[in-house]
Amino acid sequence: MADKKLRLAVLMAGACGGCDMAIVDISETLVDVLPSLEVVFWAPTVADVKYKDLEAMPDKSIDVGLISGMIRLDEHEHMCKVMRAKCNVIVAYGACAAMGGIPGMANMHTKEEIFQTAYFDTFSTDNPEGVTPQPSYLLDGKYDLTLPTFYPYVRPIQSVIDVDFFLGGCPPHHSVVLNALVAILKGELPPKGSWITNGKAVCDVCVRNPRNTDEKREMVKEVRRTIDGDPDENKCLLQQGYMCLGPITQGDCGALCPKVNIPCAGCGGPIPGVKDFGLRAVSAIASLMDNEDLVNQIPSPVKLFYRYSLPSSMLGKKVKKV
Amino acid sequence: MSEWTPNLIVFACNWCTYQGADLAGSLRYDYPSNIKIIRVPCSGRVEPEFVVEAFKRGADGVFIGGCHPGDCHYKEGNYKAIRRFDLLKRILLDMGIETERFQLEWISGSEGKRFAEAMTTFEKNVRELGPCRVKEGV
């Protein structure tokens, strides 16, 4: 490890906070790493520093910046650009930052539709004057109030700034975070623009894989949803008809979800060599099906296959009718 | 500006549809000149990524031609193709791309006439829909 402390910044863009929790979850081991880390910025969640403090720091003065969350507001875009200017290495940290994540499914709807539901249609909404968030408002003729602008679509952070490394997971498993931090501390990093990953698929590390249990792999005979009864705890989930995305997802998590009877949803990001997660999932899953009818039984394919990756997919959003 | 003509991509399987296209030429059947044929070893080789890439790069329609069921040179490539096609079609529909823009048909090496007819119908359908808006980007 280097003699001087590694200066670390953590920014939460459009995220839920789970990724920040994953860093805290390193717990005891974090204490081992902490002496070599100096957290200069961790907002808005952990440290009491403001955006203007980061803006005031000299350019390239921070060694590593972790950004979690996607770009939904102009505030997110602005802060990502500030982070890029201040940090030498930027890591897109977690599924949202790298691929758009769960909030990315909003790209199936326009901003107007989202506002309509959120501010008018929901059962608990009481909005007789029809007020929606405005970027600026003059209160009492003298107080100039502002809110960040809501962008029409969700974008992953690499569409706004240059990203050096990607880290998958929703949130990333704390061991993955620790490995990445140690790799950064030691300077043992993959080429720029790649994922910090072991390069294996979830199936590769999954104990249910027929290859690991010496069973013969067969075609999928039925399509089942997780609400349709309990899966056999020892058999491959795909083999039983549950739409598990293990074949195309990075297995840095150690197949945590399949271990507890939950099909992989693809938060780890695509395995190396895959350009578009959802389309490769279509390719893999469809080829495993026993007959054509089964394919039509798969519920809501876009939201199933693009659960974490719609904004970073080749199409990116729903094409609007003219 | 001249009148808009659809930009059409045809993925033709080497063993059937490509031969069908060849035969259509030898027999001098007319079919639209604005189709671009890409020869692939098998319809099962056409990844969904290829199709979306074609749309992204400006295709207004994508057509996949393969061997009739049972005739696949690789035994079951076309069965894989139809499963992928059905699923991808649902995805494209949900993403706002009309299903007429994306077609799969079985055309054998002896069906030159059928190839010409399929291309004519496909071109007509896409022309009626107008330009595909995917290429305009996010």
Among A1-10, A207-216, A231-240, name the most confident range. A231-240
More confident residue, B106 or A29: B106
Q: What is the pLDDT of residue A3?
A: 60
Dihedral sign for Cα atoms in the order A303, A305, A310, A314: negative
3-state helix, strand and coil shares in percent for chain B, rounded to the nearest 5: 45, 15, 35
Q: What is the pLDDT of residue A180?
A: 85
* CA distance, residue B31 to nearest chain A CA (Å): 30
pLDDT tens-digit series, residues A146-177: 999 999 999 999 999 999 999 999 999 888 88
Name the average pLDDT for chain A: 89
Q: What is the pLDDT of residue B137?
A: 60
Specify burial of residue B8 (Cβ count, 10 A radius: 0-12, 13-18, 19+). buried
pTM of the model: 0.89
Q: What is the mean pLDDT of residues A252-256?
A: 91
Dihedral sign for Cα atoms in the order A234, A239, A244, A246: positive
Q: What is the pLDDT of residue A242?
A: 93
Strands B8-13 and B61-66: parallel
Q: What is the pLDDT of residue B138?
A: 46
pLDDT tens-digit series, residues A182-216: 888 788 888 888 998 888 999 999 999 988 878 88
What percent of chain A lies above the pLDDT cut of 90? 58
Residue A271 has pLDDT above 80, yes or no: yes
CA-nearest residue to B78 within chain A is: A287
| Cα B135 from Cα B138, distance rounded (Å) | 9
8 A C-beta contact, residue A22 and residue A169: yes
Q: What is the pLDDT of residue A122?
A: 92
8 A C-beta contact, residue B100 and residue B8: no
| A322 band by pLDDT with thresholds 50, 70 and 90 | low
* CA distance, residue B130 to nearest chain A CA (Å): 11
Query: CA A102: distance to chain centroid?
Result: 7
| A4 band by pLDDT with thresholds 50, 70 and 90 | confident
Strands B8-13 and A87-93: unpaired
Q: What is the pLDDT of residue B1?
A: 54
Please give the full DSSP string across A100-113, using - where no structure is assigned: -TGGGGGGGS-HHH
Q: What is the mean pLDDT of residues A2-9?
A: 78
Length of chain A (residues): 322
pLDDT tens-digit series, residues A62-112: 999 999 999 999 999 999 999 999 999 999 999 999 999 999 999 999 999
| A1 band by pLDDT with thresholds 50, 70 and 90 | very low
CA-nearest residue to A288 within chain B is: B80
- DSSP label at A70? B
- The verdict on a CB contact (< 8 Å) between B138 and A153 is yes
B86 lies within 8 A of chain A by CB: yes
What percent of chain A lies above the pLDDT cut of 70? 98
Residue A12 has pLDDT above 70, yes or no: yes
* Chain A residues lying within 8 Å of B95, measured CB to CB: 108, 302, 315, 317-319
More confident residue, A322 or A261: A261
Tokens at A231, concatenated: 């899966």
Q: What is the pLDDT of residue B79?
A: 92
* CA distance, residue A314 to nearest chain B CA (Å): 7
